[in-house]
Chain A
Amino acid sequence: MNVPISAYLILSLALLVLGLVGVMRRRNPLMLLLSVELMLNAGNVALIGFSRQWDDPSGQVFALVVMVIAAAEVVIGLGLVVSIFRSRTNLDVDELSSMKG
């Protein structure tokens, strides 16, 4: 392989930090979910890179499980966003205080 594994890992780290910055900056719950997708993809790049380095399919199995978790998370997350924010005017997580003790 011409490209070393560390190049893939650095790209994965950059994508993860980008997703973290998105989670910190955004207040729209949809944007938070998009940023989380970015972070999950960063993890997948690292997993498939390791799978290639060790020539072992386990890493790809992990990556596929992560994709399933991401799909389930998006289904539940978007369901919650729709059911909470359909009657509100502002799409902002800081507005949610109905469960505040």
Chain B
Amino acid sequence: MGEQITFAVAAIGALGFGIGVVFFRDAFRAAVSLIGTLLSVALLFVALYAPFAAAIQVIVYAGAIVVMFLFVIAYLGERGEITTFDRLDRWQVIGWLGVAGLGAFGAIAVLDSTAGPAETAPATTDVGSPASIGDAFLSGHLLAFEVTSLVLLVAAVGAVILAKSAVQGEGGR
């Protein structure tokens, strides 16, 4: 019963704030709405016995990433969206067909699937604890762990180079 209530609250929150992200005209409001979605998803993680992933979700996503979005939105300020032309033009129809097709395909796949255990295994082992996740990372998924650190390094170096060229473009060193 408790999980059903938690799921209902988190699902309504995630979808409601997600609609806000997609339909708010103001970039600032959309970014703040994204915080609501991210916190609702973190609540879902808690309901799925994944407390470590929920904590990371709140710290990394709702903390760092959204703050970076808000910073850039404030830095760039209010800019208009021109509506004189759309480069997609009539190809937009194909894009929307792709969206509808992917949604329909996903719905069929979810409702049709019978794979996996019908009954969810009881939560006897603590799969969501930091210890078990760290164990899985360093035993079974060592390559993913190393590639992850490489990706972070490349992203950091790339961000520095982008910022440097932007500063040089404005006449700085």
| Chain A contact residues, CB within 8 Å of chain B | 1-11, 13-22, 24-28, 30-31, 33-35, 37-38, 41, 44-45, 48-58, 60-61, 63-65, 67-76, 78-83, 85-92, 94-95
Contact = CB atoms under 8 A, between A and B. Distances in A.
A67 B60 contact: yes
Given A61-B136, A94-B86, 11 more contacts: A6-B111, A13-B110, A17-B99, A28-B79, A35-B22, A58-B140, A74-B68, A78-B69, A81-B72, A90-B80, A94-B87
B107 to A, nearest CB: 6
B133 A91 contact: no
A34 B69 contact: yes
Contact of A6 (B22, B110, B127): B110
Interface in B132-159: 132-133, 135-137, 140-141, 144, 148, 151-152, 154-156, 158-159
Contact of A80 (B21, B57, B68, B162): B162
Nearest to B156: A75
A5 B44 CA distance: 12
A48 B133 CA distance: 12
A38 B120 contact: no
Contacts, number: 239
Interface residue tally of chain B, by bracket?
35 or more
B121 to A, nearest CB: 4
Interface in B90-104: 92, 95-96, 99, 102-103
B41 A44 contact: yes
A21 B155 contact: no
Given A33-B69, A91-B79, A15 B18 contact: yes
B117 A13 contact: no
B87 A10 contact: no
A1 B61 CA distance: 27
A35 B21 contact: yes
